[in-house]
Amino acid sequence: MNAHLGRATAVVAVSAITLTLTACGGAEDADGRPGSGKGHAIKVGLLLPENQTARYEKFDKPLIEKEVAALTRGKGEVVYANAKQDAATQNSQVDTMITNKVDVLIIDAVDAKAIAGAVKRAKDAGIPVVAYDRLAEGPIDAYTSFDNEDVGKVQGKALLDALGDKAKDGQIVMMNGSVTDPNAKLFKSGAHFVLDGKVNIGKEYDTVEWKPENANTNMAAALSALGKSKIVGVYSANDGMAGGIITALKAAGLSTLPPVTGQDAELAGVQRIVAGEQFMTVYKPYAPEAAAAAEMAVALAQGEKIDGVINQMVDSPTTKGVPSVLIPGVALTKANVKSTVVDDGVYTVDEICTDKYRAACEEIGLK
């Protein structure tokens, strides 16, 4: 799964998305239903997994809505549901959308296996399914995500760089994501690929539901099992959990925090990086991912081909050769806050550099 994606390929794919974005649209069919090559009143069902990680409500949802509107000249409607981390809820949300006759579904699964039956029911009802960010099982038509194994490698490499010579003597703690999320498995295997044999892994956890409070509890357990002076670094699969981990490290009375990794470039994560509390995050530009999902969804709803958008084929445990768009993630440290999230317009300097962080921002020349 997930053949390695070169940066050049991704750039080509992303620009292909931008190009074709403007090429769609047109007159509406008499019945207002999708048909080949025209702009229509399309109903896109969007299902996101949870609302604790900031990305979903702050970026993915509004970005997909904007792209669908652009592709359909304002005639596309996005019907939205957030499963709040509950797989059963998400299954019934799919059924509601089937009943409401959406033309296409974009699903970011809470649990990639548990959603397979709902994907099949949608297909049986003639509704194509685009798997968003997480590779849902069942007969999906298309998939878009980041190169998730590479995200794990980027995190692992950054942690080794930060550890330098300390990698030899100390131990690290690994805080992986939820076992129901296929991405968590890929982040974990990418990180192990880089870390194994280079540093001792004292404790490792698969964190239930990606919850920061569960990461906090796990970290507190690791601190008492290993001893706070023995932990030289923490691999955290995302920023939400990094927040819980850093709270546990501070509560244990550590004066100097070990390097902690993350993912998602959440505002709180970026602020902790500026302040020197978190070492890095993985910045994943959500705009191209959202654009790819919207473009494939609108095309599928209109019965059009998506060959021009995809950059590789991916196998899921149930479905071989899923047409996919995979996008690379980028390591974000103190050194490149400006050239990543600020220059891309994700956050303004004012949003990052609030009173609490002003001095730290000045120190790294962020103004």
Question: With binding defined as CB under 6 A, does residue 134 bind ligand GAL?
Answer: yes
Task: Report which residue's Cβ sits closest to ligand GAL.
Answer: 183
**Nearest to ligand GAL of 90, 302 (CB atom):** 90
CA dihedral 228, 233, 237, 242 (to 10 degrees): 60
Buried b (16+ CB within 10 A) or exposed e, 50-76: beebbbbeebbbebbbebbebbbeeeb
Q: Report in angstroms how near the CB of residue 126 gets to ligand GAL at its nearest.
A: 28
Our finding on whether 281 is near ligand GAL (CB under 6 A) is: no
- Can you tell me whether residue 366 is helix, strand or coil? coil
Q: Which of 166, 209, 347 is nearest to 273 (CA)?
A: 347
60 is a site residue for ligand GAL (CB under 6 A): no
Shorter beta-carbon distance to ligand GAL: residue 91 or 238: 238
Residues 181 and 211: their CA atoms lie apart, in Å, by: 13
Among 65, 103, 133, 147, contact with ligand GAL (rule: CB under 6 A): 133
| Residue closer to ligand GAL, measured from CB, 64 or 231 | 64
Contacts with ligand GAL in 221-280 (CB under 6 A)? Answer: 238, 263-264
Task: Name residues whose C-beta falls within 8 Å of residue 53's C-beta, 6 or more positions apart in sequence.
Answer: 210, 238, 239, 240, 264, 266
- Pick the stretch among 58-66, 163-171, 176-184, 245-253 that binds ligand GAL (CB under 6 A): 176-184
Instruction: Please report how close the Cβ of residue 302 comes to ligand GAL at its closest, in angstroms.
Output: 28
- Please, which residue, 149 or 181, has the CB nearer to ligand GAL? 181
**Would you tell me the crossing angle of helices 148-163 and 182-195 to the nearest 10 degrees?**
40
**Contact pick of 40, 43, 55, 185 for ligand GAL (by CB under 6 A):** 55
Q: Which helix (H) or strand (E) holds 231?
A: strand 231-236
Distance (Å, rounded) from C-alpha 109 to C-alpha 37?
29
Q: How far is the CB of 250 from ligand GAL (least distance, A)?
A: 23
Binding site for ligand GAL (CB under 6 A): 50, 53, 55, 133-134, 177, 181, 183, 210, 238, 263-264
